[in-house]
């Protein structure tokens, strides 16, 4: 047996996922690929979207026409909590041998694989297949390998790394489809065409169940919501917090909020605190969060409100406020500062 493992949130599953796995299955000659929707990625901020039952069924619909080589496995959803690949691999090892298992990941995850729980153990238990975009430079010598991997490489030959653990790393170049789940969620939220990005069965299921529209229904007044988010940023010592009504400027959102942090870590921390506070108060997650790993420019998308959090130096470079000159700047007040007694 030659068995692939591919995990993700599948929020929603799209043609990029299908293209990736059908390509890998053909090139690697897999007998079976376990497609595993996760409960929660421990390295990412949760996103707004359908519940686990819907994501599971969407994933089944996406691969329903591709035969017995693809099996949608619900083990991580049943387990609940944060989904760690090491736990899933140990479950699959009850059925398969280590040399039979191949973990399929993207090149971005390959570069940051050392952040995964028990990654050294994973390099002992499974082979790795790295999917890359056209033009990606496959590492050929130790100067090009990620630092974490160097101690494990025994031999490099024609795009395959043989590891000291007895396992291997292989690279598969995809015919790239430029699709992002976060961009798809935005399109679905505002009713823009998404047919060419989604399998027909997935598109039909989304329409039938009215998915990806629930977030806006939980917020009755986005002006009040913007004030709430601004106050969270004030409380976290944000710099130059400004908000704009851009209904006459933008077709994709009604309000925007912009603030600076004193460092990249401060900007990322503000985003994380904002997501938590909104979840606690309104019981929703954002549609997407981008840039939180670097912290130079973090975008938190709540649909009708988009929040931009900058390292202040980067904010001066982009001058986003100039885009909203024809909008209306809202008069924000830091309520916690007003509540402080005079010294």
Query: Would you say 254 and 156 are in contact if contact means Cβ atoms under 8 Å apart?
Result: no
Residues 6+ apart with CB under 8 A from 31: 1, 2, 3, 69
- 133 with 276, same domain? no
Residue 331 lies in a domain: yes
- 151 with 224, same domain? no
In this predicted structure, what is the pLDDT of residue 180?
Answer: 80
Q: How confident is the model at residue 220 (pLDDT cuts 50, 70, 90)?
A: confident
Q: How confident is the model at residue 341 (pLDDT cuts 50, 70, 90)?
A: low
For residue range 281-328, what is the model confidence (pLDDT) as tens digits?
998 889 889 999 899 999 999 988 999 999 999 999 998 888 898 899
Q: Counting beta carbons within 10 angstroms of the beta carbon of residue 337, is it exposed (0 to 12), middle (13 to 18) or buried (19 or more)?
A: exposed
Q: Which two tokens stand for residue 237?
A: 């010592």
pTM (two decimals): 0.81
- 68 with 127, same domain? yes
Chain centroid to CA 36: 15
- 133 with 64, same domain? yes
Q: How far apart are CA 299 and CA 235, in angstroms?
A: 19
Positive or negative CA dihedral for 329, 271, 305, 198? positive
- 165 with 221, same domain? no
Has residue 198 got a pLDDT over 70? yes
* Among candidate residues 120, 144, 173, the one where a domain is terminated: 173
Which position has the token pair 């479950």? Answer: 91
Q: Which two tokens stand for residue 63?
A: 């691969």
Domain containing residue 152:
3-173
For residue range 235-248, what is the model confidence (pLDDT) as tens digits?
999 999 999 999 99
Q: How confident is the model at residue 216 (pLDDT cuts 50, 70, 90)?
A: low
Residue 186 lies in a domain: no
Mean pLDDT of the 259-279 span: 96
Q: How far apart are CA 171 and CA 260, in angstroms?
A: 40
Question: What average pLDDT does the structure give for the chain?
Answer: 91
Query: Would you say 141 and 180 are in contact if contact means Cβ atoms under 8 Å apart?
Result: no
Q: How far apart are CA 171 and CA 169, in angstroms?
A: 7
Q: How far apart are CA 26 and CA 29, in angstroms?
A: 5
The percentage of residues in the chain with a pLDDT greater than 70, rounded to a whole number, is 97
Q: How far apart are CA 6 and CA 4, in angstroms?
A: 7
- 159 with 38, same domain? yes
Q: How far apart are CA 5 and CA 117, in angstroms?
A: 16
Positive or negative CA dihedral for 197, 200, 201, 205? positive
- 66 with 122, same domain? yes
Q: What is the CATH number of the domain that holds 18?
A: 3.40.50.620
Q: Which two tokens stand for residue 73?
A: 């496995």
Q: Which two tokens stand for residue 9?
A: 């949130």
Residue 123 lies in a domain: yes
Pairing of strands 239-245, 328-329: antiparallel
- 41 with 153, same domain? yes
Residue 189 lies in a domain: no
- 281 with 162, same domain? no
Residues 6+ apart with CB under 8 A from 58: 10, 12, 13, 50, 202, 205, 206
Q: How confident is the model at residue 192 (pLDDT cuts 50, 70, 90)?
A: confident
Beta-bridge mates of residue 131: 106, 172
- Domains identified in the chain, total number: 2
Beta-bridge mates of residue 290: 299
For residue range 30-66, what is the model confidence (pLDDT) as tens digits?
999 999 999 999 888 888 888 999 999 999 999 998 9
- DSSP annotation of 151 reads G
Name the least confident of 178-182, 194-198, 212-216, 220-224.
212-216
In this predicted structure, what is the pLDDT of residue 144?
Answer: 84
- 169 with 223, same domain? no
Positive or negative CA dihedral for 205, 182, 323, 267? positive
- 16 with 102, same domain? yes
DSSP string, 209-224: HTTT-HHHHT-S-HHH
Residue 301 lies in a domain: yes
Has residue 135 got a pLDDT over 90? no
Q: How far apart are CA 187 and CA 342, in angstroms?
A: 49
In this predicted structure, what is the pLDDT of residue 340?
Answer: 56
């Amino acid at each position: 047996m030659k068995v692939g493992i591919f995990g993700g949130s599948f929020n929603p599953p799209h043609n990029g996922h299908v293209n990736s796995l059908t390509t890998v299955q053909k090139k690697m000659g897999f007998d079976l690929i376990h497609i595993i929707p996760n409960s929660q990625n421990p390295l990412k901020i949760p996103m707004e979207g359908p519940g686990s039952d819907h994501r599971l069924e969407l994933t089944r619909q996406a691969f329903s026409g591709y035969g017995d080589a693809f099996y949608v496995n619900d083990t991580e959803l049943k387990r609940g909590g944060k989904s760690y690949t090491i736990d899933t691999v140990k479950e699959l090892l009850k059925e398969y041998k280590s040399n039979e298992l191949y973990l399929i990941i993207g090149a971005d995850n390959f570069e940051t694989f050392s952040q995964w729980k028990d990654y050294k153990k994973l390099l002992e238990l499974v082979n790795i297949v790295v999917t890359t975009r056209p033009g990606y430079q496959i590492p050929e010598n130790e100067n090009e390998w990620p630092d974490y991997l160097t101690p494990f490489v025994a031999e490099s030959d024609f795009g395959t790394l043989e590891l000291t653990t007895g396992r291997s790393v292989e690279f598969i170049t995809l015919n790239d489809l430029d699709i992002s789940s976060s961009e798809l969620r935005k399109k679905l939220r505002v009713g823009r065409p998404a047919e060419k990005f989604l399998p027909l069965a997935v598109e039909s299921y989304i329409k039938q169940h009215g998915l990806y529209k629930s977030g806006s229904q939980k917020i009755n007044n986005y002006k009040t919501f913007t004030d709430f988010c601004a106050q969270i940023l004030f409380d976290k010592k944000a710099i130059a917090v400004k908000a704009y009504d851009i209904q006459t400027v933008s077709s994709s959102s009604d309000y925007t909020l912009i603030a600076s942090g004193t460092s990249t870590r401060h900007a990322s921390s503000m985003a994380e605190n904002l997501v938590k506070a909104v979840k606690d108060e309104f019981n929703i997650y954002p549609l997407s969060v981008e840039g939180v790993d670097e912290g130079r420019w973090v975008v938190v998308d709540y649909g009708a409100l988009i929040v931009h959090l900058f390292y202040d130096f980067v904010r001066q470079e982009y001058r986003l406020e100039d885009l909203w000159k024809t909008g209306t700047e809202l008069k924000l007040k830091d309520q916690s500062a007003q509540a402080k007694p005079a010294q």
